[in-house]
Amino acid sequence: MLPFCTSSGRISFIDALFTSTSAICVTGLIVVDTATYFTSVGQCVILILIQLGGLGIMTFSTMVLLAAGRSITISDRILVQEGYHPGSPRDFRTLVKNVFLFTAVIEGAGSILLFLRFLQDEPWATALFSGIFHSISAFCNAGFSVYSDNLMGFRGDILVNLTIAHLIIFGGLGFLVIGETGQAAVGLLKGMKIKLSLHSKLVLTTTAALLVGSFFVFLALENSGALRSFSLKDKILASFFQVVTPRTAGFNTIDLTTLGTAAVLLHMFLMFIGASPGSTGGGVKTSTFGVVFAFIRSKIAARDSVHLFYRTIPQNNVVKAFTVISLSISLVFLVGFVVLISQPGMLMKEVFYEVFSGFGTVGLSLGITPQLNVLSKSMIILVMYAGRIGPLTLLLAFSRRRAFGKYEYVEENVLIG
């Protein structure tokens, strides 16, 4: 809310809170135009919040302590390790350093590529800042842009589209998956066969299936709709980009208000699933969706256990996956219901698109964000926060721990379906 952060020298408390939450939760929903409303200082503050939110404040503070030679508590070690390598015995210091090193390399490479492209149209200082800003925003799956029309001006630009899309994908996979995949690739070059963990296989398979499947669906749905005036190259680029970005990024190269209802529903589906565990994105996560899908497939095949890649998924994981899905659906519909009551003039698809976007920490909108009232903005802030940390984590944080001993009641069947 500092006056030198905005062009006008002022911003309301709710708009400042909304913008900072959107940045720290790497969402990208905006109530004011980032390009014109904020000064260079304000945009830098937003960029810092995005980087903090993308990697995690806990990881950042840990890196600062390590750099200063300070000791790290056991509880802090567990929190950071569980965020990237659940149950992994790897060296803690190496883990944190690798996360920062990988982030610096990927964001640096993206910044250089985007800078070289933006340099063709802008002064070098502006192009450099734009390149760095969009690279960090893309890798952290934030979706903030310093262009008023987001990336619509680069609709047919292959370099910008592919660079941003790959930054989003890398950021959304999770550091565990990227690390294991990198080790497997290096091992393959050396003639060694390194097996991926079940988690990495599930994330990579689910991500690939979602990207490929949704690409063809989106292209078929909007070929004669929002994409009808595009060239074949632009149709392919736009379709690919617009199924990558709803996974939690929030950039757009086309006018989303021109999308048909079916394409809007496809976006909601992708936003709800979101990125992968230990990544910079939100949503219920690809692994959760994969476990639920495997459970349904197992029931159709009349199997009692859930199998994936010749492994059996623990029952506890299945229950947790369904719990996350149930809590997430309940939260999204509750927030959407409140916003609809608060602002009855808005269309249902616009409101729920906004809520799904907030929960998935995506940032895409059908244009209603600036029109939200204080109550609606507060509800979107809540859903952005829940989507970033996870609904189950949020529930456990506010629930009271029961001190009673473990016991079970007598079982009794109920009719299902």
| 3-class secondary structure, 407 | coil
pLDDT at 185: 84
Judge whether 156 and 233 are in contact, CB under 8 Å. yes
Judge whether 217 and 246 are in contact, CB under 8 Å. no
Token couple for 268: 């909601």
414 assigned to some structural domain: no
413 assigned to some structural domain: no
pLDDT at 403: 46
412 assigned to some structural domain: no
pLDDT at 33: 92
**How many domains does one find in the chain?**
1
pLDDT at 183: 82
Residue range of the domain that includes 265? 3-397
pTM of the model: 0.89
pLDDT (tens place) for every residue of the chain, 417 residues total: 567 888 888 899 999 999 999 999 989 999 999 999 999 999 999 999 999 888 775 455 445 545 555 555 544 554 455 555 554 445 556 767 777 888 899 999 999 999 999 999 999 999 999 999 999 999 999 989 999 999 999 999 999 999 999 999 998 888 788 888 888 888 888 878 778 888 889 999 999 999 999 999 999 999 999 999 999 999 999 999 999 999 888 899 999 999 999 999 999 999 999 988 878 788 899 999 999 999 999 989 888 889 888 899 999 889 999 999 999 999 999 999 999 999 999 999 999 999 999 999 999 999 999 999 999 999 999 999 988 888 777 776 666 555 445 567 777 777 666
DSSP assignment letter at 409:
P
161 assigned to some structural domain: yes
415 assigned to some structural domain: no
321 assigned to some structural domain: yes
DSSP assignment letter at 410:
P
404 assigned to some structural domain: no
DSSP 323-367: HHHHHHHHHHHHHHHHHHHH-TTS-HHHHHHHHHHHHTT----SS
Q: Kindly report the CA angle at 378 between 258 and 150, in degrees rounded to 5? A: 35
Instruction: Round to whole Å and give the CA distance between 162 and 160.
Output: 6
pLDDT at 144: 94
117 assigned to some structural domain: yes
Name 306's bridge partners.
313
pLDDT at 89: 44
Q: Side-chain half-sphere of 188: how many Cα atoms within 13 Å?
A: 8
